[in-house]
């Protein structure tokens, strides 16, 4: 068992960076699965795209469409959205990702707390993160947010004209950034048959976080 | 919207069979992610291997180690295991898989009810399913079930001798088969930008199940 100070990047970040580099020739190396708990208590699971780390932090970044969770005629507010999508009985914002790298046989299961940065965000830094994420998205990706409401029935008369979007226009209302602040990283290297679990913790009477690591049988 | 009778294979099975065939050159085409809800209400997510369908049914089959969920010194009973792993507030046995095919860009999200077939199983047909699954596993895979308790800390003095296993010996105690009976299949074809949702249902006063299908905006 060992611990590392929060001022240096935790060991799991090195492992994740190496895995990303070793698998970068595969388009799907940025795809991972996100598990959440629905409002009715049942599990949800879907493929999302890893968009890198929030600058200067260990938070993983993703984007999502606030309309995609419930086929309601009105977009949910960010608060309702996070309530409906990411509710758990313990924490309102717990989620777990499962990130499997197909070439190197490495699995990262990361549990942590999420934050959603939507159109109502008032914090200037977070607004900036959302804008940056929007402008660094491909135009095809942006088009999806400007397209028809996801999850609604397709009707024959549906207007299938391509939506128009000015390339200089900022994020559309439904565009949200999701950040995941890891609290536990469970890493398995299937080729080497090794497993390490990294847990973020605080020492008594100290402010800074530490990462404790422990090797487990796979 | 359309429905298909239960006596013919549902449309999602054709789609899944086609995807399996089109991606079969990739070792990881049998890997998918399983989301469950933990006893404390938080989401869990992990990579598992699809082991085909239970003969004569639409149930998906997987295998798992009953010891892998809790690092307790004694193996959990199958009942406790399913309670601890697959609990949700609505149904004790709800789970959702997310199956992404990297070559054809198809995602299947399947929600349904699970059943666990463990060493205490008394139903003869189910016992047979477990035995068949054991003998069709590779020897490397079997060895894992005979190996050290997963999820326990690795200690320096740990005995790292390979476990011995007679190739004709039946399943070891911790070997379990997990079956998933789909109730909803949410299919997205990312290349074609198409989405269909298939839902299993019963008509009033009828015994047989039907699959209703609806096209949604992706």
Give the Cα separation of A196 and A180 in Å (integer). Answer: 20
Identify the helix (H) or strand (E) that includes residue A146: helix A139-146
Q: Mutating which of A35, A69, A111, A112 best tests the B interface, going by the most B Cβ atoms within 10 A?
A: A35
Closest Cα of chain B to A72: distance in Å? 13
As a whole number of Å, the CA-based R_g of chain B is 19
**Band of residue B33 on the pLDDT scale cut at 50, 70, 90:** very high
Q: What is the mean pLDDT of residues B3-8?
A: 57
How far is Cα A198 from Cα A110, in angstroms, rounded to an integer? 9
Residues in chain A: 218
Query: How much of chain A exceeds pLDDT 70, in percent?
Result: 83
Interchain contact A149–B (C-beta under 8 A): yes
> How far apart, in whole angstroms, are the C-alpha atoms of residue B121 and residue A209?
46
Angle at B175 between CA B169 and CA B181, to 5 degrees: 125
Rounded to the nearest integer, the mean pLDDT of chain A is 84
Which of A130, A120, A134 is closest to A166 using CA atoms?
A134
Q: What is the ipTM of this complex?
A: 0.86
- Provide the pLDDT for residue A188: 97
pLDDT single digits (tens) A58-73: 999 999 998 886 433 2
Backbone angles phi, psi at A180, to 5 degrees: -120, 115
- ∠ CA B183-B188-B192 to the nearest 5 degrees? 150
Q: In DSSP terms, which residues pair with B177 in a beta bridge?
A: B63, B117
Contact A66, A76 (CB under 8 A): yes
Q: Do B153 and A45 touch (CB under 8 A)?
A: no
Chain A / chain B CB contacts < 8 angstroms: 143
Q: Which phi and psi angles does B83 have, rounded to 5°?
A: -60, -45
Q: Name which of B131, B149, B179 is nearest B67 in CA terms.
A: B149
Q: Which two tokens stand for residue B208?
A: 């047989």
Confidence (pLDDT) at B8: 77
Give the domains, in start order, of chain B with CATH numbers.
2-146+170-216 (2.30.110.10)
Dihedral of the alpha carbons of A84, A85, A87, A88, in degrees to the nearest 10 = 140
Query: What is the end-to-end Cα distance of chain B in Å, rounded?
Result: 16
Residue A166 has pLDDT above 50, yes or no: yes
Q: Is the pLDDT of residue A198 over 60?
A: yes
Q: Which of B29, B37, B41, B45 to mutate to test the interface with A (most CBs of A within 10 A)?
A: B45
Looking at beta carbons, which residues of chain A come within 8 Å of B215? 153-154
Residue entry with tokens 């299937």: A190
Among A32, A39, A47, A215, most B C-beta atoms within 10 A, so best to mutate, is: A47
β-pair partners for A140: none
Residue with tokens 């892998």: B68
**Quick one: average pLDDT of A75-98?**
52
Q: State how far the alpha carbon of B190 is from the alpha carbons of A23, A212, B100, B187, B217, in Å.
A: 21, 39, 10, 10, 12
Nearest chain A residue to B94 by CA distance is: A42
Q: What share of chain A is helix, strand, coil (3-state, %, to 5)?
A: 20, 35, 45
DSSP letter, residue B153? B
The single-letter DSSP state of residue B154 is P
- In whole angstroms, give the CA distance from residue A171 to residue A176: 9
Burial status of residue A124 (CB atoms within 10 A of its CB: 0-12, 13-18, 19 or more): exposed
Q: Cβ B96–A37 below 8 Å, yes or no?
A: no
Q: Which residues of A touch B151 (CB under 8 A)?
A: 216-217
Contact A88, A94 (CB under 8 A): yes
């Amino acid at each position: 068992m060992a611990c590392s100070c929060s001022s240096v990047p935790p060991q799991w970040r090195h492992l994740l960076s190496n895995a990303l580099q070793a698998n970068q020739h595969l388009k799907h190396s940025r795809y991972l699965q996100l598990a959440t708990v629905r409002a009715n208590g049942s599990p949800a699971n879907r493929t999302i795209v890893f968009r890198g780390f929030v600058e200067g932090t260990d938070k993983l970044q993703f984007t999502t469409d606030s309309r995609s969770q419930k086929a309601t005629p009105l977009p949910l507010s960010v608060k309702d959205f996070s309530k409906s999508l990411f509710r758990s009985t313990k924490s309102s914002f717990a989620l777990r990702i499962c990130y499997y790298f197909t070439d190197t046989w490495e699995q990262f299961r990361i549990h942590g707390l999420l934050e959603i940065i939507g159109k109502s965000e008032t914090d200037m830094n977070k607004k900036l993160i959302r804008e940056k994420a929007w402008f660094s998205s491909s135009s095809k990706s942006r088009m999806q947010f400007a397209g028809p409401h996801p999850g609604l029935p397709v009707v024959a008369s549906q207007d299938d004209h391509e939506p128009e979007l000015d390339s200089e226009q900022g994020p559309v209302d439904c565009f949200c950034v999701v950040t995941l602040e890891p609290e536990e990283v469970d890493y398995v290297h299937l080729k080497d048959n090794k497993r390490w679990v990294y847990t973020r913790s605080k020492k008594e009477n100290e402010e800074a976080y530490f990462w404790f690591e422990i090797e487990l049988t796979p």
